[in-house]
Amino acid sequence: MLTLTDSTRLLVLTGAGISAESGVPTFRDAGGLWEGHRFEDVASPEGFDADPILVWRFYSLRRRGLDNVKPNPAHHALVEVEKRLGDRYLLVTQNVDGLHAAAGSKRMVEMHGNINRTKCRRCRLTPFEDHKSYEELPACAECGELLRPDVVWFGEMIPRDALAAIDGFVRAAGSNLVFLAVGTSGVVYPAAGLVDVARSAGGTSWLVNAERPANVSQFDHVEIGPAGKVLPALFA
């Protein structure tokens, strides 16, 4: 049982596993492959330069797959905890599926961007959602450059304001920090390194995951099981 006291400052990191029970496939389900390409190759600037249509289709299919998925009890459990803790709570998600926002999460950092937003490669303009253009590659109305999904690809920097928000929260928390990771395989950095950041700040670390992930030994407490079941019980 994760006890929240009046001084607890809770930092939550979520990955694809928290959306699995909503019907969103995780990266591991795809075995890290998309049409025979390594995921890292497709979700990278080089991959987009090499074959923008393939990458655009990869994201269009994932976006289309989100059309009728809903947040699950794990997403809602985090919204309840946020209401209880207020500014002593911060959610950092690796997910680009927008389900945390749909569930009502407010104090949230989308450290890898959001698949429902596109941006221009050159003028960084972020046009309105362009759900219409699933197949053909949309171009920027301003400068004609190709548009791309507004997500952080492999080899790209995490947005500075996201890193600053995480850093500020950990610093302010000190040993009152409780770090909880949910549904992530702990292989992609810097997200996978957050548990180490939390430990060196003197915090305690919890993991809720369907199986023991790569960085499981870094966690003080490990709860193996589906997040939709384990998370609501963890805070009961």
Interface with Zn ion includes 141 (CB under 5 A)?
A: no
Tell me which amino acid residue 4 is: L
Catalytic residue among 37, 112, 131, 221: 112
* Chain position carrying tokens 């390194």: 193
C-alpha torsion sign, points 226, 93, 194, 82: negative
- What residue 140 binds from Zn ion, ligand BV8, none (CB within 5 to 8 A, per partner kind)? Zn ion
Instruction: Choose one: 49-57, 75-83, 124-132, 207-215; the region binding ligand BV8 (CB under 6 A).
Output: 207-215
C-alpha torsion sign, points 207, 87, 153, 24: positive
Give the one residue of 2, 24, 27, 198 binding ligand BV8; rule: CB under 6 A.
27
* The CA-based dihedral angle spanning residues 18, 108, 44, 119, taken in that order and rounded to the nearest 10 degrees: 130
Closer to ligand BV8 at the Cβ: 66 or 96? 96
Closer to Zn ion at the Cβ: 29 or 142? 142
- As a whole number of angstroms, the longest Cα–Cα distance in the chain is 54
Closer to ligand BV8 at the Cβ: 88 or 183? 183
Interface with ligand BV8 includes 183 (CB under 6 A)?
A: yes
Interface with ligand BV8 includes 227 (CB under 6 A)?
A: yes
The residues, any chain, with a CB within 8 Å of residue 69's CB and separated by 6 or more, are 19, 22, 23, 24, 97, 99
Site for ligand BV8 in 115-174 (CB under 6 A): 151-158
- Give whole-number Cα distances, 193 to 20, 32, 71, 141, 185, in Å: 22, 20, 26, 39, 12
Give the one residue of 120, 213, 219, 223 binding ligand BV8; rule: CB under 6 A.
213
Q: 116-120 long-range contacts, Cβ below 8 Å, gap at least 24?
A: 116/63, 116/66, 117/149, 117/150, 118/147, 118/148, 118/149, 118/150, 119/147, 119/148, 119/149, 119/150, 120/145, 120/146, 120/147, 120/148
Paired tokens of 118: 């596109």
Site for Zn ion in 63-122 (CB under 5 A): 120, 122
Closest distance of CB 56 from ligand BV8, Å: 12
Closer to ligand BV8 at the Cβ: 114 or 204? 114
Is 112 marked active-site? Answer: yes
Give the one residue of 22, 105, 185, 215 binding ligand BV8; rule: CB under 6 A.
185
Closest distance of CB 148 from Zn ion, Å: 11
Task: List contacts with ligand BV8 (CB under 6 A).
Answer: 15-17, 20-21, 26-28, 40, 43, 94, 96, 112, 151-158, 183-185, 187-191, 209-211, 213, 226-227
Residues recognised as catalytic:
112
